[in-house]
Amino acid sequence: MAKIKMTTPLVELDGDEMTRVLWKAIKDILIEPYVELKTEYYDLGLEERERTADKVTTDAAEAIKKYGVGVKCATITPNAQRVEEYKLSKMWKSPNGTIRAALDGTVFRAPVLVDGIDPLVGNWKKPITIARHAYGDVYSGVEAYVPEGGKVYLELPGGDKIMIKDLPSAGVIQAVHNLDKSIAGFARSCFNYALSTKQDLWFSTKDTISKIYDHRFKDIFAEIYEAEYRDKFEAAGIEYFYTLIDDAVARVMRSSGGFIWACKNYDGDVMSDMLATAFGSLAMMTSVLVSPDGKFEYEAAHGTVTRHYYKHLKGEATSTNSVATIFAWAGAIRKRAELDGNAELESFADKLEKATLDTIESGTMTKDLVGLFRKEGVTPVGVGSFEFLEAIAKRL
Ligand code: NAP
Ligand code: MG
């Protein structure tokens, strides 16, 4: 069989530990036998970040801006213990944080659904994708304990002061902020991702209580939608829907899924963990970073699976789930194919995903899924990390 050709390179961001081992195996076993893979390769493994004083991360972010599509392996975010372990000269920042800041992007998390692993909410039949605004609010809030008799003022440009609260007794106060431009970037990333995946977009805040702060979010979304996206949404047959956060929660629970839910920073923090748990497994959760001007970076939501890596290094068998990383590759390949009008490559991405799902649905899976799998007539069998990839390759 002739290999499928690519015209534009994908930006490939390699990573650390067990996911780095799987990264190579996925390419060797599932992609390169079929595709003449063209990538611009950046090694974000911790050793290379140390060697380049983390320049490799910013270079990779620039490459995503240039080419428009990247795929990233999980990476170590150094802490004190990693500084010791890797003899680092500095506690380098989280690569995800650096790339997200460079692209001014929003992260969308979506579960991979498999027939046989049912979400805890019985009526969820399609994935629910959650988008969390990753700027401001309580995450960069300022707080203070205010003793009895304390008054809190706000200083305006020009030096005028207004009193915002004269506390009747001792207590606490919190000041939070957000920026129009950050909210607008968040809105555009959400509208772009909805168009890209042809799913409805829901957005929720508490604007009835927060009549200026949350209302600003609601207004900015509405203005950008009317001015830039309404026509495109109508042409794509999708909808933008705004509602109050508590109404959204009730509707999400009753829904059958298949939409994107955009949340403010705190709501997204809490709700993404709720959704991930209800959909079954972190190892089946994918993540896409989307910039306001439509650049895409695909990855798995989980980390580098350190515990499995140490087993692997000792020569012990592992059963690490590669589904989210395979779907990250498939997502990036599909997006690249769409942008290049490469139908053969697009169809390969579909087949790669289908072969992966079919493998699990017919009973071959990594051990983390065995306990979750329930399907009549199919007895789940847990296999090793590489056997799982070989089983997918057979179907592919
Ligand atoms: P983790 O790598 O996600 O793993 C936590 C545990 O979850 C694993 O030990 C394993 O449980 C289970 N698990 C996660 N992914 C799995 C998979 N694909 N297959 C099977 N089991 C899986 O989180 P962590 O141990 O907290 O973090 C490890 C490193 O990853 C850290 O250095 C952190 O900085 C980094 N990290 C990177 C990213 C990223 O790049 N996006 C995200 C999060 C964390 P069992 O051990 O019980 O089998
Ligand atoms: Mg959280």
- Residue 39 domain-assigned? yes
Residue 244, CB half-sphere, CA atoms under 13 Å: how many? 9
Tens of pLDDT, residue by residue over 325-340, are 999 999 999 999 999 9
Which CATH number is 225's domain given? Answer: 3.40.35
Q: How confident is the model at residue 247 (pLDDT cuts 50, 70, 90)?
A: very high
Give residues whose Cβ lies within 5 Å of ion ligand 2. 269, 273
Is residue 285 assigned to a domain? no
Ligand 1 close to Cβ of residue 96 (< 6 A): yes
- pLDDT of the residue at 264: 95
SS3 163: strand
Same domain, 262 and 275: yes
Confirm or reject: Cβ of 284 under 6 Å from ligand 1: no
Residue with CA closest to ligand 1 atom 40:
74
Q: Terminal CA-to-CA distance of the chain, rounded, Å?
A: 13
* Residue ending a domain, choose from 279, 305, 329: 279
pLDDT of residue 115: 94
Same domain, 297 and 221: no
Let me know whether 300 and 363 are in one domain. yes
Sorting pLDDT into bands at 50, 70 and 90, what band is 383? Answer: very high
pLDDT for the residue numbered 312: 98
Q: pTM for the complete prediction? A: 0.92
Do 386 and 324 belong together in one domain?
Answer: yes
pLDDT band, very low/low/confident/very high, at 295 (cuts 50, 70, 90): very high
Taking phi over 0 as left and psi of -120 to 50 as alpha, with beta for the rest, 196 belongs to alpha
Return the best residue to mutate from 302, 320, 360, 385 for the ligand 1 pocket (most ligand atoms within 8 A of CB).
302
For residues 50 and 163, membership in a common domain is answered with no
Beta carbons of 138 and 270 less than 8 angstroms apart: no
Query: What is the SS3 assignment for 68?
Result: coil
Q: What is the mean pLDDT of the chain?
A: 95
Nearest atom within ligand 1 for CA of residue 323: 18
Overall average pLDDT of the 344-353 stretch? 98
276 CB within 6 A, ligand 1: no
Domain endpoint, select from 223, 258, 279: 279
Same domain membership, residue 387 and residue 315: yes
Tell me how far the alpha carbon of residue 334 lies from the centroid of ligand 2, in angstroms: 29
| 256 in any annotated domain | yes
For residues 171 and 182, membership in a common domain is answered with: no
Q: What's the average model confidence in pLDDT over 183-192?
A: 96
Residues 309 and 257 in one domain: no
Sign of CA dihedral 42, 323, 305, 273: positive
CA–CA gap between residue 57 and residue 48 (Å, rounded): 9
In a domain, 284, yes or no: no
- Per-residue pLDDT averaged across 294-314, rounded? 96
Task: Supply the CATH number for residue 58's domain.
Answer: 3.40.718.10
Query: Which tops the pLDDT comparison, 210 or 164?
Result: 210
Assigned domain for 94 exists: yes
- If asked whether residues 69 and 17 sit together in one domain, one would say yes
> Are 63 and 28 part of one and the same domain?
yes
Question: Is the pLDDT confidence value at 45 over 90?
Answer: yes
Residue-number span of the structural domain to which 165 is assigned: 142-175
Lowest mean pLDDT among 143-147, 234-238, 359-363: 143-147
Residue 232 CA to ligand 2 center (angstroms) comes to 32
Residues 200 and 265 in one domain: yes
pLDDT of residue 368: 94
What pLDDT band is residue 168 in, cutting at 50, 70 and 90? very high
- Kindly report, residue by residue over 120-141, the tens digit of the pLDDT: 999 999 999 999 998 889 888 8
- What is the structure's pLDDT at 114? 94
State the total domains in the chain: 3
Q: Could you give the CA distance from residue 133 to residue 129 in angstroms, rounded to a whole number?
A: 13
Least confident of 54-58, 106-110, 198-202: 106-110
Which residues have a Cβ under 8 Å from the Cβ of 18 and sit 6 or more positions away?
304, 305, 306, 308, 309, 312, 318, 320, 385
So what's the pLDDT on residue 236? 97
39 CB near ligand 1 (under 6 Å): no
Instruction: Write down the pLDDT at residue 1.
Output: 78
Residue 366 placed within a domain: yes
Domain assignment of residue 264, yes or no? yes
Q: Is residue 287 part of a domain?
A: no
In this prediction, residue 80 has a pLDDT band, given cuts at 50, 70 and 90, of very high
Residues 153 and 229 in one domain: no
Is pLDDT at 350 greater than 90 in this prediction?
yes
Pocket lining: 302 vs ligand 1, CB cutoff 6 Å: yes
Lowest mean pLDDT among 4-8, 289-293, 342-346: 289-293
